[in-house]
Structure 1
């Protein structure tokens, strides 16, 4: 027992030193408990109370994030809690993005009439999203295999609950079941890969100097197999090809705000985790087992092609946006393969502007579903004349998602292209040139399906639409603001770029 005392003493000291740097996560935990208890006390009448409490709490958490951001803008990365978490500048930026988007999502939730009409109310949804936010914070800071798996599972369980929350029809129930089964399978695959890597290295710490050194002593085929299994588990969260098969059905079957959640928050957190996962291998000059640049570039090319071309044939709006989300994943992977600070900055900018535009677009999907029960391209015919403000906002957001000039999406894609081209100039890699060409071609292809929506809104003959519930002015205002933001960041990208 005596020989353990110094170890325990050092462990406690490290924990106490780490706690002040863990404030945002502690605040999220407290907010989760407060919203949970409030929901239990007020029951079905708790929706508005939980919403106010959750939004106010997130503003408080954003303040703590800003303090961390200001600190780590110049400070070197720090390992916390006995090397289990890594706090650095990129992580603080991604936490700010995640918490800001979560705040917008909580505002949007009750404006979707289908979700609002759920007999259980929305108190549970607020609680689940806040709990998942803690998991996402841990994902972008994970520095050991233990924290990687636990954080991914925290977010996965929350996602399963949200997708299954609305299961009033057979398609929604089937989509939620498919998501859970595939999610469990991907978790098992990733855990098996983690167990192999731990067996090979004898350490769970990604940034342990022995980690890569010990891997290099193992048979390359075995190491490569284990790493592919881990990437497959992460790929399920990122929804890149060939692990994208769950996306169309789940995005279509889930409530629209849940689709907005799945296509933004967990994806951003997964990219943050992918950066941490790749860093030890990229930093090692001796690593030669698996060419991550080649592997991820090949995945990005296939994902760009499959996502964008499949979206062309879709008639359901949510299903179309699901395939486009897969295409955007491929584009974000382009920034990852640069393995450079410029690439990480481009990635953060791209993910933020994509998330704002996608969240606004899906909010407008809710608007048209609320107003006239419109769910397909055919249903959108002539609605541009009837709802001009919402329709013009939709067009602006789609322009940003496409990446056309004078939009934030254009600047995001330009930053990604610039980062990839800068690396190509250094090594003249053929795979990077193929990546650039594929990104440019698929951006043009995306025009063919994104423009179908304004085509039907403004140029097709109006249909006799079924009247829906009410026109939510708050939802329209939310979408107008989102459209204004993507235009503002398109004209003045430096307003955001200098902070990334």
Structure 2
């Protein structure tokens, strides 16, 4: 009987963990319901599945809010430490749920997706499964759960990118994404195998983890850590793992681009923070200098993303490169390795998600109504579509970081967190991050301002044909723009929850 006690303890831990696993259980049930709904109501081309998915995401958001209240600043280890729950990752889960809700709303408003021969029921099923994977990415506490959750999200992303099978460009983007994604997964898995061989555990929060790694060869430990970070960096589009982003973002349907540029990135940062925590928390760790490593990655990513965006003419490619730049800026908050830095990161990701989703919705709106996808095709549209164009300016102001906008407050909070840590240790890498962040913010103004320039100050050479478009998308865009302004004036409405 004594031999059965460990198994009994594990089963009790699993049962106790279920009460704090409600959002993920809801997502699992929602996935099955959406799939069944698509089979039963296949004739309505996914409308019933969409309504069910939106309602389900709102329910999951409420369940996460309940968890947020219940945790009360405690760190909970669920399912025998395979998953971790605390305030910070619950906040990220809520941001993911809200962004997923907006993306699902956006899907049928895209002409190319709406005319898809198979309908959109499959897409809603895939998104629901991916959100479950994103939740698990944020909560992962072992290398095994990290790999499984990343692969769940990767497979869903591959399917979404290539969803428009009738489009050769979309199929090419999907194939490119699959090939690069498989290579990144293989690299990450090799790093995990090395990590396990050196430490003897998959649990990141095992008490003996750092002790065993400290005794191992420095070169092998560094290689294992770098390979795992490379797998995470692929999801974050960190330079030099960004090469897939422009072509995939341009080739995918605009709602899929909105999904790729926000949800996996948010979950990726949550995963990165979790992976780094046991090393940063242990003062004995001296094998890998994470501050230098991530600072160099952040600087290169900010410079490459922002300067490459200056030369872009296609709006989606421009937003793709700007997203790479934003990844580098968000890494500044991670490098602080402080509670203030993590709160700044969460606020920044929320502000970026709102503005970026709105900007891509507007890119889709102009593509639908005027078949305008490049800057030259935006000439003179500002006065023809004043509401959409003014909202575009507001959202771009936020992405740039100009007052009064959510993006400005987010950047100020990140700069403050980095500067406070720099004052304590005067680390030159943090100073380099601050300088690079300020310079690239100015550079971003040069390419973001090109869109209002073409909308309002360039004359339309000829009257293009106007196509019908969903007016509901404008309502959503106005709401997102209002949120950006509201958080610009009253940042504490969201900052206090972080």
Name the TM-score class by shorter chain: over 0.9
Q: Using the alignment, how far apart are the partners of 2:292 and 2:92 within structure 1?
A: 26
State the Cα deviation string for residues 298-356 of structure 1 (Å, max 9, x = none): 00000000000000000000000000000000000000000001000100000001010
How far 1:253 moved relative to its partner?
A: 0.1
Is 1:226 paired with 2:233?
Answer: no
Structure 2: tracts of 5 or more residues without a match: none
State the Cα deviation string for residues 108-150 of structure 1 (Å, max 9, x = none): 1111111111111111111111100001111111000110000
Is 1:277 paired with 2:270?
Answer: no
Counterpart position of 1:479: 477
| Equivalent in 450, 453, 456 of residue 451 of structure 2 | 453
Q: Using the alignment, how far apart are the partners of 2:379 and 2:52 within structure 1?
A: 40
| Equivalent in 98, 102, 105 of residue 104 of structure 1 | 102
Q: Using the alignment, how far apart are the partners of 1:11 and 1:121 within structure 2?
A: 44
Residues 369, 468 of structure 1: 8 Å contact kept: no
| Equivalent in 92, 95, 115 of residue 93 of structure 2 | 95
Q: Using the alignment, how far apart are the partners of 1:164 and 1:214 within structure 2?
A: 43
Q: Using the alignment, how far apart are the partners of 1:75 and 1:312 within structure 2?
A: 43
| Equivalent in 311, 314, 324 of residue 313 of structure 1 | 311
How far 1:462 moved relative to its partner?
A: 1.2
Counterpart position of 2:177: 179
Map 1:340-489; keep pairs closer than 5 Å.
340-489=338-487
- 1:209 match: secondary structure: coil
Q: Using the alignment, how far apart are the partners of 1:234 and 1:75 within structure 2?
A: 26
Structure 1: tracts of 5 or more residues without a match: none
Is 1:20 paired with 2:19?
Answer: yes
Q: Using the alignment, how far apart are the partners of 1:409 and 1:287 within structure 2?
A: 35
Residues 45, 118 of structure 2: 8 Å contact kept: no
State the Cα deviation string for residues 379-423 of structure 1 (Å, max 9, x = none): 000000110110000000000000001010000000000000000
Counterpart position of 1:64: 63
Counterpart position of 2:36: 37
Counterpart position of 2:131: 133
- 2:19 match: secondary structure: helix
How far 1:377 moved relative to its partner?
A: 0.2
How far 1:471 moved relative to its partner?
A: 3.2
Counterpart position of 1:490: 488
How far 1:166 moved relative to its partner?
A: 1.2
Counterpart position of 2:9: 10
| Equivalent in 166, 186, 189 of residue 168 of structure 1 | 166
- 2:204 match: secondary structure: coil
How far 1:8 moved relative to its partner?
A: 1.6
Q: Using the alignment, how far apart are the partners of 1:29 and 1:453 within structure 2?
A: 41
Map 1:138-217; keep pairs closer than 5 Å.
138-217=136-215
Moved more, 159-168 or 357-366: 159-168
Q: Using the alignment, how far apart are the partners of 1:6 and 1:185 within structure 2?
A: 42
State the Cα deviation string for residues 59-105 of structure 1 (Å, max 9, x = none): 11111111001112x24101110110011111111111111111111
Aligned residues: 498
How far 1:498 moved relative to its partner?
A: 1.0
Moved more, 216-225 or 113-122: 113-122
- 2:84 match: secondary structure: strand
Q: Using the alignment, how far apart are the partners of 2:218 and 2:145 within structure 1?
A: 25
Is 1:48 paired with 2:47?
Answer: yes
- 2:144 match: secondary structure: helix
Residues 38, 46 of structure 1: 8 Å contact kept: no
Q: Using the alignment, how far apart are the partners of 1:452 and 1:276 within structure 2?
A: 38
- 2:77 match: secondary structure: strand
Structure 1 residues 348 and 75: alpha-carbon distance in aligned structure 2, compared to 1, 3 A threshold: closer
How far 1:3 moved relative to its partner?
A: 5.8
- 2:373 match: secondary structure: coil
Map 1:289-328; keep pairs closer than 5 Å.
289-328=287-326
Q: Using the alignment, how far apart are the partners of 2:112 and 2:460 within structure 1?
A: 25
- 1:263 match: secondary structure: helix
Residues 32, 127 of structure 1: 8 Å contact kept: yes
Q: Using the alignment, how far apart are the partners of 1:339 and 1:235 within structure 2?
A: 18
Q: TM-score, normalised by structure 2?
A: 0.99
State the Cα deviation string for residues 205-248 of structure 1 (Å, max 9, x = none): 00001111100010000100110100110010000100000000
How far 1:42 moved relative to its partner?
A: 1.6
Structure 1 residues 255 and 44: alpha-carbon distance in aligned structure 2, compared to 1, 3 A threshold: farther
Q: Using the alignment, how far apart are the partners of 2:145 and 2:53 within structure 1?
A: 25
- 2:38 match: secondary structure: helix
Q: Using the alignment, how far apart are the partners of 1:37 and 1:53 within structure 2?
A: 11
Q: Using the alignment, how far apart are the partners of 1:130 and 1:216 within structure 2?
A: 41
Structure 1 residues 117 and 332: alpha-carbon distance in aligned structure 2, compared to 1, 3 A threshold: same
Q: Using the alignment, how far apart are the partners of 1:105 and 1:181 within structure 2?
A: 25
Residues 39, 50 of structure 1: 8 Å contact kept: yes
Q: Using the alignment, how far apart are the partners of 2:74 and 2:368 within structure 1?
A: 49
How far 1:44 moved relative to its partner?
A: 4.2
